[in-house]
Structure 1
Amino acid sequence: MPDRPKSSYALVWGQVLAMIYALARSNQRGRLLLLCVGLVVVIAANTFGQIRLNAWNQGFYDAVAQKQVAAFLWQLQVFGLIASSLLVLGVTQTWLHETLKVVLREALTYDLIREWLEPKRVYRLSLAGEIGVNADQRIHEDIRHLTELCADLGVGLLQSSLLLITFVGVLWGLSREMAQTSTSIVTAVPGYMVWCALAYAAVSSWMSWRVGRPLIDLNVERSSQEAGLRFALVRVSESAEAITLFQGEADERRRLESEVGRVIGVARRLANGLARLTWITAGSGWLAIVAPFIVAAPGYFTGSLSFGGLMMTVAAFMQVHQSLRWFVDNFSRLADWRAALLRVMLLRETLTGLDTLVEDAERIAFREGEEAKLVFDKLGVVLFRGKAMLTEPHVEIGPGEHVVITGDPGAGKSALFKALAGLWPWGTGSVLWPPGQAIMFMPRRPYLPPGSLRAILAYPASPDGFAGDAFLAALDRVGLGHLKPDLDREDRWDRMLPLEEQQRLAFARLMLHRPRWIIFDEAISALDEDSRRLILSIFENELAGATVISTSRRPSGDMFYDRVLHLVRDREGTLTRRGSSRSPEAWSLPSGSPVQSGT
């Protein structure tokens, strides 16, 4: 696991404030505020009910001790009224609590998806090292876990704090009454019961903190290893055909067993840590059963407290102790919350810092020109080692031209394609775009999003923006007429169709959108001969006015291209920040993960 900044209170509070900021700017902030206010009101009312229930203890147990039937029956009626009120408040609190979890998750998930899908960020995050590998799990699983823990711990802390404040006052009052009537030196100490409860809770809390502190880092490591295992399993599932063809099952099994071994190793250390913590939490809980009786015993045996007063004092002591030991009972959950907060907010911090990283580095200047032409001026794309450069320092491409850019393997053709698309902006020189022109980029392997064929053809626009017959005509034109009956069938077409038909489907998408400028990353040269002839005929007829720029390993033998540009690799170049000689592997994103670059 890569190094990360050490945990500190400043880091925690910074991430909490970042989370609050994200919630405050979400569309759900109004509902969140109402839910929080409602919970505060209900918890305050519940606390008042607990005070009344505690006071009821004295009358009820005195009636039992003195065998007063009438008083006993009356106290049962009082209990029914208090219990009914607390039941209504409890149900209301549960509904508000669970609804808060849902709205918190909704707000944070929408916020992180919005940050993730800002233009170019998805790709740039994939270059950010480990944090970019499992972004899906952080958005799906870690946000769910974080919001549930935030709601549970927040409600629990508020409730415990209110109960502590109120019952410290009750216990202090009982201690004062005991001191006025008792002859014991011990009970004569002002607030004797309060100090005993505070001391008991402080000792158990300190011991829990000392024993349970390593659980924070273990929970962070567990989340990371679980994400790695899930990614490995998904990769095997998606690559099942290739693994089977190469008979690589044994190798994949060894790799998966290694991932499982790391997960199990962390789980075992976590289990041992939780067992050690249980010695403290369970031991403290068992001792708490008799501790209030021991503390209140001097007052009872000297006659300062009746039996009902003793039970009321014990109940108040238990409430104070239970509130104070909230930290003890929830230490493992606090460690889990800290780990989830770190993973979610580190992803958000990385996403919001990606744009700053791009601006700080030496990069290609992109701007819109005044004439309808594409201009490359001293364009160079920085690679992991070296720089990809066109042999012509100044290139102008006009409307309707067909230009192919060739280069040897490793020259940086794919890097140039990504640079023109804005995915890899690091480099030198400038690119002047034609003003107000629609430009479409086609990667080597087409992207088919989940959904119907109609939606795939219209992507990224809505199918409603095109005439119904246009979809059928496009499929016929690229030789996929047999798919017309399935036009509205939703499926994983990227798995259903062979690569050749996926490529043809991508060109059918071009026919619908009819862009004026099209840039390919070997998408044409990767076609078989029959598909190539079919697609080139489209550019000679339906898309005759479109400008085509394509990368290829070698010039084609046909007359489709008007010009050939050559791309070469200058191995002296390197990727640096402005004013710095640091190489790309030394860069760091906000997450602390090194930037990984490639062609």
Structure 2
Amino acid sequence: MKFLGLAVALAAIVCIVAGAAKGSVAVLGLSVDPTMIGVGLVGLALALATVRAARISTFLRIFSKLFAVEFTLLALAYAAGAYGLWPAALSEALPPASLCVTIAVFGLIVYGISFIPVIRQITRLADLYFDATEDIDVPTGLFGIRRMRERHFATGLIMTLVLINQLQVGISVRLSFFNRDWFNAIQNKDQAAFWSLLLTVFLFWAFIAIASNLIEYFFDAVLKINWRRWLTARYSGVWLNDGGIYRMGLIGDGADNPDQRIAEDVRNFILDTYSYSITLIQQISTLVSFSLILWAMPAEFVFPGTNIVVPGLPFWVALAYSTFGTWITHLIGRPLVRLEFAQERYEADFRFSLARLREYAEQVALLRGERSELGILGGHFRDLVANYYRIVKRVLKLNTFISFYGQISPILPYVIIAPYYFLDKVTLGQMSQVAGAFGRVEGALSFFIDRYRSVARYKANVDRLQTFSEALDKAGTLGKTPPHIEERHQSQQDLTLRDLSLRLPDGREIVRAPALGFKSGGATLVTGPSGSGKSTLFRAIAGIWPYGQGVVDLPQNARVLLLPQRPYVPSGTLKTAATYPAPADTYSDEQVREALKLARLAPLADRILEDENWGQRLSGGEQQRLAIARAILDKPDWLFLDEATSALDEKLEAEIYAMLRQHLPATSIVSIGHRSTLIAMHDWRVEMNAGDDGVFVPAATG
């Protein structure tokens, strides 16, 4: 950024020197060009902002770089024109001072808004993508596929889109002058000028505008889908990394409905961030460009009822009118941010309740719980409806004001300019141009009035994504900083626990194991009353329980598999469910069929390629035996069964244990169970005994 800042400063100095050396306005005895000096002064301000932009957001820095380059080139071209160095054949393309000032204003605004807290909140999320270091393959048409950094690709797309939007504003300005000359031709009944302007000027620029819109759409779509792809993969990866999905469910705050955060909030954030960043630049460009048109009107506008000349009176009216409208809109609509945030949560909670009800449809039907479920769903929906009506009430107030504001806006410029037209101080074309420019300026200044509710939704969406990011970070560090449960790999064969203390999320200690060992090469049964921390102990050994401290010593390179009481059955084919979490092609069809037969699921062995909702098709006992088939395929060194056979009858349970001992002879088995018949199926036993302080201590009993 220092190099760009220096380039901007040099271009600004060139303009100042040129303006001081060549001009028509006398200042302190010198003939100077105040316009050119003004361009140079605003350029110096931009140079300072460009240098300091090295410390702002990566996303905003992209715009700072682009505007610095644009100003440097345009200012030098403008200075060249002043010295007669610009080619006469390209006189129509010589950039005006207004364009140089517009670009400089862009750069200064970008630097200024980088310090606004809400902008910082947004750019922290946007920077995740624009700082990406991964490489991607980019199709380039005739040049084949090119490999480049993701952030360079994204930066190139953003810059291209900004340039296209600036071009579109330039086309609008050119058409504004066409509109003036065309209406003057109508007023003067100049048929030749009428058709010449229509067939040469209008058709040419209209074609350019259409082409730019099509190109913009393509690059716009490419940027959005790639941004969403990367950000979705990033959030999904963190959520599903190293037990993060489990820890997210433990921390609570900011972690509700992660499916919606990843699927909907990410999409909405990208669409709105792109829209507001690019659209705001377009609006600022429109504001500056058309404000200069209002200032440049040859008529001397006087303040109504006086003889006081007010340069650029239509501009000041547009500014005052829009400022008043924006202030009133903010006062009315401010509560919408909070209400929209709450509405998103109510919608997600209701949708989650419906999905959960579908998942447990059989249990609800067996318990005749339909009426109770209707009450639960009704409660969620009542919250949704109540908050929705609060939004409706607020939006009605907002829309009432906006409607009145919008009805007055189109006629206001004609009310201002018409008296001068009737006095022949302006032509019909000039009145038309002023009205159009006024509408553009007022529209740019009223940007937030027209979009206040969508801005409120955007802010709520940003807040939700920010809290989700913070929850992901919190879940990622949960249980990772000392004192914590440390997992070590030692050379011994047994699995041992040392100075282990397990706590609940509220801080209460539930299990204390000063020294405990599980012998390898056999089977150990862990027993104890419900709520004694048996499952928590297993999760600590598996490495996903974050609350506590101590050491879990695992044999070197040992592979651990824990089967819960209620196994997870993913969607897809039965083979996919049987091999989970390994990909389906990890094992042959014959290996999967054999595993299902050993798990006493022989009737399903020929259906492994069928795509069904197996989570609902299989009974609880069948799902547990499907998990046993996974263990047969995986062949872990240590297999932890957390009541993983509780849905089986005693005879079938005994057969499963005998089969595991026979077909997985190198696997050490540790089970949780309450049936007395399990004792005979294990070699050793660990009992969870309650101490005087209510903390359970596991101890070997035989």
TM-score, normalising length: structure 1:
0.88
Corresponding residue to 1:76 among 154, 179, 198: 198
Larger RCO (CA within 8 A; separation ≥ 6): 1
Q: 1:180 to 1:239 in 2, by over 3 A?
A: closer
1:475 aligns with 2:596: yes
Match of 1:56 in 2: 178
Q: Within 2, Cα distance between the matches of 1:88 and 1:290?
A: 32
1:365 paired with 2:486, answer yes
1:37 maps to 2:137:
no
Structure 2 CA distance for aligned equivalents of residues 186 and 86 of structure 1: 43
Aligned partner of 1:257 in structure 2 is 378
Write the letter of the residue equivalent to 1:312.
Q
2:169 maps to 47
Structure 2 vs 1, CA of residues 192 and 156 (structure 1 numbering), >3 Å: closer, same or farther?
same
- What's 2:270 paired with? 147
**Partner residue of 2:29?**
none
What is the aligned counterpart of 1:276 among 359, 378, 397? 397
* Equivalent position of 1:582 in the other structure: none
**Separation (CA, whole Å) in 1 of partners of 2:498 and 2:164:** 67
Relative distance call for 1:401 and 1:447 in structure 2 (3 A) is same
Q: Once the two structures are superposed, what CA deviation does each residue of 1:234-283 show, in whole Å capped at 9, x if it has no partner?
A: 12222222222222222211221221111111111111111111122221
2:286–2:440 CA contact under 8 A, matched in 1 = yes
Q: In the superposition, relative to structure 1, how do residues 180 and 498 fare at CA in structure 2: closer, same or farther (>3 Å)?
A: closer
Say if 1:381 and 1:389, in contact at 8 Å, map to a contact too: yes
The two structures, once aligned, show a CA RMSD in angstroms of 2.4
**Alignment of structure 1 residues 193-204 onto 2, 5 Å:** 193-204=314-325
Specify the alignment match of 2:224 in structure 1.
101
Cα pair 2:247 2:478 within 8 Å, conserved:
no
Matched residues in 2 for 1:11 and 1:520: separation? 50
1:448 counterpart SS class:
coil
The reply on whether 1:449 has 2:570 as its aligned counterpart is yes
Please tell me whether the aligned partners of residues 406 and 555 of structure 1 are also in contact (alpha carbons under 8 angstroms). no
* Whole-angstrom CA distance in 2 between matches of 1:67 and 1:493: 79
Distance 2:498 2:323 in 1: 70
Query: Structure 1 residues 129, 183: CA separation in 2 closer, same or farther (over 3 Å shift)?
Result: closer
Greater shift, 545-554 or 494-503, is seen at 545-554
Please tell me whether residue 173 in structure 1 is matched to residue 296 in structure 2.
yes
Per-residue CA deviation, residues 352-408 of structure 1 (Å, 9 max, x unaligned), is 122334245743232222222211123332235853446x74223332021111111
Pair 548,186 (structure 1): closer, same or farther in 2 beyond 3 Å? farther
> Distance between the aligned counterparts of 2:197 and 2:262, measured in 1?
53
Shift of 1:557: 5.4
In structure 2, C-alpha distance between the alignment counterparts of 1:181 and 1:240, rounded to whole Å: 76
Deviation at 1:571, TM superposition (A): 7.3
Please state whether the residue corresponding to 2:436 is helix, strand or coil. helix
Shift of 1:554: 5.3
Amino acid at match of 2:583: S
Amino acid aligned to 1:147: I
**Could you list the runs of 5+ residues in structure 2 that have no partner in the other structure?**
1-114, 135-149, 696-702
Residues 406 and 554, structure 1, Cα contact 8 Å, conserved in 2: no
Deviations 1:482-531 (A, max 9, x none): 21221112222111111111111111111111111111212145532232
* CA distance in structure 2 between the aligned counterparts of 1:219 and 1:438, rounded to whole angstroms: 47
Checking the alignment, whether the CA contact within 8 Å between 1:222 and 1:263 is kept in structure 2 is: yes
Name the aligned partner's letter for residue 169 of structure 1: L
Q: State the Cα distance separating 1:182 from its structure 2 match.
A: 12
> 1:10 Cα shift?
6.2
Matches within 5 A, 1:127-166: 127-129=250-252, 131-166=254-289
Q: Which of 200, 209, 218 is equivalent to 1:86?
A: 209
> Could you tell me whether the CA contact under 8 Å between 1:208 and 1:277 is conserved in 2?
yes
State the alpha-carbon separation in 1 of the partners of residues 391 and 420 from structure 2.
44
Counterpart for residue 126 of structure 2: 20
Q: C-alpha separation between the residues in 1 aligned to 2:217 and 2:492?
A: 64
Matched positions, count: 563
**C-alpha separation in 2, matches of 1:111 and 1:429:** 32
- Partner amino acid, structure 2, of 1:157: L
* Structure 2 residue corresponding to 1:509, chosen from 601, 626, 630: 630
**Partners of 1:538 and 1:544 within 8 A in 2:** no
Please point out which of 233, 245, 262 is paired with 1:110. Answer: 233
SS in 1 for 2:502: strand
Distance 1:249 1:65 in 2: 75
Q: 1:347 deviation in Å?
A: 0.7
Residue 570 of structure 2 corresponds to residue 464 of structure 1? no
Rounded to whole Å, the distance in 1 between the matches of 2:418 and 2:515 is 95
CA 1:312–1:560 in 2, change beyond 3 Å: closer, same or farther? same
SS at the partner of 1:132? coil
- Report the 3-state secondary structure (helix = DSSP H, G, I; strand = E; otherwise coil) of the residue aligned with 2:681: coil
TM-score, normalization by structure 2: 0.76
